[in-house]
Structure 1
């Protein structure tokens, strides 16, 4: 499934906002019968367009109120180091995203922790697993926009 149509876009928009919508309601919102809606959703899942259906939690309410972005300059740029780094970041649950970047820094990590002491524990864990060059952190003071919803107004168009 390389091209999605208007109905797929509307389905995906609704599911991004509320993946718990009953098929009947979802179908009503996009102009499909329950069965047609089910078939479309199953096709989008089979094609890998829908990767998962998850619950989004409020980090502050579960004791993870501090979000941190960690900027890293690597000491080495070889496959062995990258594999070790990738394995380490995937194994640390507080790390919610790891990205290889262009520009002045090599990697950007997004993490959720309880407080500064918890961040220090995360930092110590990370540097014990992988040798790194320069490591700096920026702490989120105010979350202005944070969404998992992807813009679909042009998605799948040819």
Structure 2
């Protein structure tokens, strides 16, 4: 993993604000040469500090308005196999290995309660799965974000980007 200097953090902060910004716009905003911005982005992508760009489609737009979290307990030494099997379930959005009572946290999307039942049954049928618990997601109160971390890493007095050309 690539470590970030304050300029990298400012670059990532600018991308977080405007993910579609061009190299030229980023270079002007940050007061850096376009080639410098391009080289830094390439290094950040290669070092896995920058996740691949993708449109974040909301499952509800695909007819799956119900989201839930399954905590999954698996038999000893089966985490990798269960994780790989969960990747084959289309409604599984994310899988995270945990410490504590549950082994995995699985975020799923479903059409309705009956569909969630079907998905849960499919997860329970996977080899290595011992037990699941389900919690419905009622409302996302904080969306995925890294902005506060980028602001801190950028190192400004208040962590925000300095004014660039055209910022009055």
Instruction: Give per-residue Cα distances to partners, 1:6-56, cap 9 Å, x unaligned.
Output: 111011122233322111111122221222211211121122222311111
Q: What are the residue-to-residue correspondences of 1:119-158 with 2, within 5 Å?
A: 119-149=116-146, 151-155=149-153
SS in 2 for 1:19: coil
Distance change (3 Å), C-alpha of 1:84 and 1:5: closer
Q: RMSD between aligned alpha carbons?
A: 2.3
Pick one of 84, 87, 100 that aligns with 1:87: 84
Alpha-carbon distance in 1 for matches of 2:22, 2:143: 26
Query: TM-score, normalised on structure 1?
Result: 0.83
Per the alignment, residue 106 of structure 2 pairs with 109
Asked whether the 8 Å contact 2:71–2:132 carries over to 1, the reply is: yes
The total of aligned residue pairs comes to: 154
Give structure 1 stretches of 5+ with no counterpart: none
Asked whether the 8 Å contact 1:72–1:108 carries over to 2, the reply is: yes
What displacement does 1:148 show? 4.3
Give structure 2 stretches of 5+ with no counterpart: 156-168
Distance change (3 Å), C-alpha of 1:57 and 1:112: same
Per the alignment, residue 77 of structure 1 pairs with 76
Alpha-carbon distance in 2 for matches of 1:17, 1:94: 29
